A and B are shown apart, each in its own frame.
Chain A
Amino acid sequence: METKEKTMPKGGEFLIKETAAANIFIPEEWTEEQKMIAQTCRDFLEAEVFPRLDEIDSMKNPELMPSLLDKAGELGLLGTSVPEQYGGFGMNFNTSMLVAEVLGAGHSFAVAISAHTGIGTLPILYYGNEAQKAKYLPKLATGEWKAAYCLTEPDSGSDANSGKTKAVLSADGKHYVINGQKMWITNGGFADIYIVFAKIDNDKNLSAFIVEKSFGGVTMNEEEKKMGIKGSSTRQIFLNDCKVPVENLLSERENGFKIAVNILNIGRIKLAAAAIGACKKVTSTAVNYSNERKQFGTSISNFGAIKLKIAEMATRTYASESAAYRAGQNIDDAYDALIAGGMDEAQAKLKAVEQFAIECAILKVHGSEVLDYVVDEGVQIYGGMGFSAEGPMDRAYRDARINRIFEGTNEINRLLTIDMILKRAMKGELDLIGPAMAVAKELMEIPDFGASEDEGLFAAEKKVLKNLKKAGLMISGAAVQKFMQKLSDEQEILTNLADMLIEGYVAESVMLRTEKLVALKGEEACKVQIDMTRLYFNHAVQVVAKAGREAIASFAEGDEQRMMLMGLKRFTKVDPLNVKEVRRSIAEHLIAKNEYPF
Chain B
Amino acid sequence: MKILVCISHVPDTTSKISFTDNHTKFDSNGVQFIIGPYDDYALARAIEIKEATGGTVTVLNVGEADTEPTIRKALAIGADDAIRVNAFPSDSYFVAQQIASIAKEEKYDMILMGRESIDFNGGMVHGMVGEMLGIPSVSPVMKLEVEGGKAKMAREIEGGKEYLEVSLPLVAGCQEPIAEWKIPNMRGIMSARTKPLKVVEPASNDTRTKLSQYQMPAAKGAVKMVSADNVAELVSLLKNEAKVL
Chain A positions near chain B (C-beta within 8 angstroms): 32-33, 35-37, 39-40, 43-44, 47, 74-77, 79-80, 89, 593-594, 597
Q: Which of B30, B68, B73, B187 contacts A597 (CB 8 A)?
A: B30
Q: Flag whether B127 is at the interface (Cβ < 8 A).
A: no
Contact A33 B189 (CB under 8 A): yes
Given contacts A32-B69, A76-B186, A597-B30, 16 further A-B contacts (CB under 8 A): A32-B72, A35-B69, A36-B69, A36-B72, A36-B76, A36-B192, A39-B73, A40-B186, A43-B183, A44-B183, A75-B183, A75-B186, A76-B185, A80-B186, A89-B187, A89-B190
Question: A37 vs B76: C-alpha distance in the bound complex, in angstroms?
Answer: 10
Closest chain A CB from B74 CB (angstroms): 11
What are 10 A-B interface contacts by the 8 Å CB criterion? A32-B69, A32-B72, A33-B189, A36-B184, A37-B186, A40-B184, A40-B189, A47-B181, A47-B183, A593-B16
Q: Flag whether B152 is at the interface (Cβ < 8 A).
A: no
Question: A76 vs B72: C-alpha distance in the bound complex, in angstroms?
Answer: 18
Question: A32 vs B69: C-alpha distance in the bound complex, in angstroms?
Answer: 7
Contact with A along B60-89 (1 / 0, CB 8 A): 000000001100110010000000000000
Residues of B within 8 A of A32 (CB): 68-69, 72
Nearest-CB residue, chain A, relative to B183: A43
Residues of A within 8 A of B181 (CB): 47
Contact B73 A36 (CB under 8 A): yes
Contact with A along B22-33 (1 / 0, CB 8 A): 000000001000
- Given A593-B30, A594-B16, A597-B30, does the pair A33, B190 have CB atoms closer than 8 Å? yes
Q: Which of A33, A44, A89 contacts B193 (CB 8 A)?
A: A33
Nearest-CB residue, chain A, relative to B69: A32
Residues of B within 8 A of A33 (CB): 189-190, 192-193
Residues of A within 8 A of B73 (CB): 36, 39
Closest chain A CB from B36 CB (angstroms): 16
For A39, A44, A593, A597, the residue with the greatest tally of chain B CB atoms inside 10 Å of its CB is A39
Residues of A within 8 A of B192 (CB): 33, 36
For A37, A79, A594, A597, the residue with the greatest tally of chain B CB atoms inside 10 Å of its CB is A37
Question: A35 vs B33: C-alpha distance in the bound complex, in angstroms?
Answer: 12
Closest chain B CB from A83 CB (angstroms): 13
Closest chain B CB from A141 CB (angstroms): 10
Contact B189 A37 (CB under 8 A): yes
Which residues of chain B from 172 to 207 have any CB-CB distance to chain A below 8 Å in the complex? Answer: 181, 183-187, 189-190, 192-193
Question: A47 vs B76: C-alpha distance in the bound complex, in angstroms?
Answer: 18
Residues of A within 8 A of B193 (CB): 33
Residues of A within 8 A of B189 (CB): 33, 36-37, 40
For B68, B73, B183, the residue with the greatest tally of chain A CB atoms inside 10 Å of its CB is B183
Question: A44 vs B189: C-alpha distance in the bound complex, in angstroms?
Answer: 14
Q: Which of A75, A593, A594 contacts B185 (CB 8 A)?
A: A75
Contact A89 B183 (CB under 8 A): no
Closest chain A CB from B220 CB (angstroms): 13
Residues of B within 8 A of A75 (CB): 183, 185-186
Residues of B within 8 A of A89 (CB): 186-187, 190
Nearest-CB residue, chain B, relative to A80: B186
Nearest-CB residue, chain A, relative to B72: A32
Closest chain B CB from A107 CB (angstroms): 19
Contact A77 B69 (CB under 8 A): no
Question: A574 vs B73: C-alpha distance in the bound complex, in angstroms?
Answer: 48
Closest chain B CB from A82 CB (angstroms): 11
Residues of B within 8 A of A594 (CB): 16
Question: A179 vs B6: C-alpha distance in the bound complex, in angstroms?
Answer: 62
Question: A33 vs B75: C-alpha distance in the bound complex, in angstroms?
Answer: 12
Residues of B within 8 A of A35 (CB): 69
Closest chain A CB from B82 CB (angstroms): 14
Residues of A within 8 A of B184 (CB): 36, 39-40
Question: A469 vs B191: C-alpha distance in the bound complex, in angstroms?
Answer: 46
Residues of B within 8 A of A77 (CB): 186
Question: A33 vs B72: C-alpha distance in the bound complex, in angstroms?
Answer: 9
Contact B69 A40 (CB under 8 A): no
Nearest-CB residue, chain B, relative to A597: B30
Contact A40 B30 (CB under 8 A): no
Nearest-CB residue, chain B, relative to A594: B16
The 6 closest A-B pairs by CB, nearest first: A76-B186, A75-B185, A43-B183, A76-B185, A36-B189, A89-B186
Question: A33 vs B186: C-alpha distance in the bound complex, in angstroms?
Answer: 10
Residues of B within 8 A of A39 (CB): 73, 184
